[in-house]
Structure 1
């Protein structure tokens, strides 16, 4: 759900399922959620999507963490321990609010070791959210054949351009 919400905007292609209210309502309904009636619901949803995406890419940043915690406070009314011993968060928001549900999911599941596998592509023009299933948990790119290859080609060209100016000097 977190990955799906983050990837509702495909930055490489300039598309955003949440750009307009009608398309956002269809996209959310297909996933069992709804867009609030409040006129600020759509801009808030887009903003919270970016808060989640930022959190996945820079968990250690104090600014990112503060923004994520603000979003969490909007959605969580409290916590309790369930009968099975697991942490249960009590939502404040409507259960059909996808941003709230995704924030709650990140608070419970995403803060642990498995949650650290949720990442955002290191390519600034991409920022696609993905689950790092690699054994070493060290993936940086959503797709090595696309974003990783572009990065490696840029590095290669920078080295080549740098070495050609050094040898001609």
Structure 2
């Protein structure tokens, strides 16, 4: 929907997953074989991937100070199925945190969130406040107080509605 720059690092995976559905048109990229392949989601795991997506959206809404759009399984419950593995290099002492199992989408999402927590970027992944949009975006505003995925689309619509209400 928006022309924003993608979220930094592996947080782009989370942003892209949340944005696999266009709520305005009802189009869901996970309905296609290409969309599922992009996230390595088997058709049998589709319901779990969609539940993960909507739980992530609720967290993105919370980051922006908005209430949940619907009842979902709390993200914390979904992430308990995704153990992370800390790997320390004997050569240089560097450490990385990644999924213990490479396959499941939830493991990759958990690792992306962990990386974003370390980098301090996690709270800036938000969801648009427009109820017909709820698109995930990375808030790059200096104060971190962005409200819409796109000021020229959703922001303009909201401002026009407020103007007309006056």
- TM-score bracket relative to the smaller structure: 0.7 to 0.9
> What's the counterpart of residue 80 of structure 1?
86
User: How many pairs are equivalent?
Assistant: 146
Deviation at 1:79, TM superposition (A): 4.6
> What's the counterpart of residue 5 of structure 1?
17
> What's the counterpart of residue 164 of structure 1?
none
Between 116-125 and 105-114, the greater mean CA deviation after superposition: 105-114
> What's the counterpart of residue 35 of structure 1?
41
Q: RMSD of the alignment, in Å?
A: 2.7
TM-score, length basis structure 1: 0.73
Question: Which consecutive unaligned segments of at least 5 residues does structure 2 have?
Answer: 1-12
**What are the within-5 Å matches in structure 2 for residues 1-169 of structure 1?**
1-18=13-30, 20=31, 23=32, 25-29=33-37, 31=38, 33-36=39-42, 39=44, 41-59=45-63, 67-76=74-83, 78-80=84-86, 82-83=88-89, 84=93, 86=95, 88-92=97-101, 95-110=102-117, 113-158=120-165, 160=166
Q: Per the alignment, do residues 69 and 142 of structure 1 end up closer, same or farther by CA in structure 2, a change over 3 Å counting?
A: same
Q: Which has the higher contact order (CA 8 A, sep 6+)?
A: 2
Deviation at 1:81, TM superposition (A): 6.2
Residues 96-135 of structure 1, C-alpha deviations (whole Å, 9 max, x = no match) = 3334312321133147522222111111110101111122
TM-score, length basis structure 2: 0.74
- Larger Cα-atom Rg: 1
Q: Secondary structure at the match of 1:71?
A: helix
Q: Per the alignment, do residues 149 and 125 of structure 1 end up closer, same or farther by CA in structure 2, a change over 3 Å counting?
A: same
Residues 6-26 of structure 1, C-alpha deviations (whole Å, 9 max, x = no match) = 1000112221112x3xx1x31
Deviation at 1:35, TM superposition (A): 2.2
